[in-house]
Amino acid sequence: MPSHDRYRFGDVLLPEAESLARSLPALLRQQQANELDREKIALENKRIEAAQQQNDRAFEAQENARVLEAKRYQENFEFRKEQAKQAEMNRLVASVGEPYQKAMIYRKYGFNDLADNFQNMGDKQEAQKDVIRTFDSFTDPQDILENSSDALRNLDPTSPAADYVRNARTRAAEDLDVKYSELLEKPGFRLVHEAYKNAQQDFNMPDEQKKLVNEQYIKALERYGVVEEADTGQGSVEDFDDDDVDKLVDDIVGGRGLNLSTGR
């Protein structure tokens, strides 16, 4: 056998095989140990991963709770802020009396619907004030009576302003009774006088007919020597003849004729 074959199969190979056989159990044990280590590492990694996930969930829950708490705080803050704003607005509104002032306050705080309502209310009040200013410019009882209906047409019938006009009209009628108390003893004049007062309070009487009643009243005052000339501000007495006027008074007093010359 050649020397190199003896080296391969004898002197060298056999010791190597014996050495490998002796080390094989250790290698197997090391392999098993490595396997166990890998399993332990995998389990530890799973434990760490599970713990991390749990921590992440806990952190997420805490973060959500923090965000929710911040949101609730903000909402509560905004609610308190809005309530404080409304309380301030209500105090300011309660401190003023004029609708225009209230409208300005409501508009400042963004309550435009309420502002518009009070603006309209203020406009109506100003319009009523203008009516009352015009009505108050009349001082003579006849002027007050003759302009009371026009004033009332432009006022809310339930308003204090309308009550004011009605009361002024009543006082004017009473003043007129006092002024012509002696003439009222004459039946003819009394009929015309009462017809005149009633006409001023009759909303349904046409303006042309009321104008005739006013003319008739002036004519009666002339006939009894109370006034020297007729001046109603609505035209001349000559616009109507005696037949027209007497017929009108007939209608007003229920068909009873009236002769201004005789008072009967």
Please, are residues 196 and 245 in contact by the beta-carbon 8 Å criterion?
no
Within 10 angstroms of residue 146's Cβ, the number of other Cβ atoms is: 24
Please, are residues 222 and 229 in contact by the beta-carbon 8 Å criterion?
yes
Average pLDDT over every residue of 68-78: 89
Predicted confidence (pLDDT) per residue in 181-221, tens digit: 999 998 888 999 999 999 998 888 888 898 999 998 999 88
Helix (H) or strand (E) holding 16: helix 13-94
Average pLDDT over every residue of 28-48: 84
For position 25, what pLDDT does the model report? 77
Instruction: With CA atoms as reference, report the closest residue to 196 among 180, 183, 215.
Output: 215
For position 1, what pLDDT does the model report? 54
Distance CA 248, CA 198 (A): 13
Within 10 angstroms of residue 161's Cβ, the number of other Cβ atoms is: 21
DSSP letter assigned to residue 11: I
Please, are residues 135 and 146 in contact by the beta-carbon 8 Å criterion?
no
Average pLDDT over every residue of 65-71: 90
260, pLDDT greater than 50: no
Predicted confidence (pLDDT) per residue in 103-121, tens digit: 999 999 999 999 999 999 9
Burial class (CB in 10 A: 0-12, 13-18, 19+), 193: buried
DSSP letter assigned to residue 184: G
- Distance of alpha carbon 193 from the chain centroid: 49
Please count the CA atoms within 13 angstroms of the CA of 260 that sit on its side-chain side: 20
123, pLDDT greater than 90: yes
pLDDT confidence bin for 2, thresholds 50/70/90: low
Q: Enumerate the domain spans of the chain.
A: 3-94, 141-252
- Distance of alpha carbon 1 from the chain centroid: 124
**Stated length of the chain:** 264
pTM: 0.53
For position 134, what pLDDT does the model report? 95
DSSP string, 58-101: HHHHHHHHHHHHHHHHHHHHHHHHHHHHHHHHHHHHHT---HHH
Predicted confidence (pLDDT) per residue in 154-174, tens digit: 999 999 999 999 999 999 999
227, pLDDT greater than 80: no
Distance CA 22, CA 15 (A): 10
Q: Please give the single-letter amino acid code of residue 196.
A: Y
For position 255, what pLDDT does the model report? 41
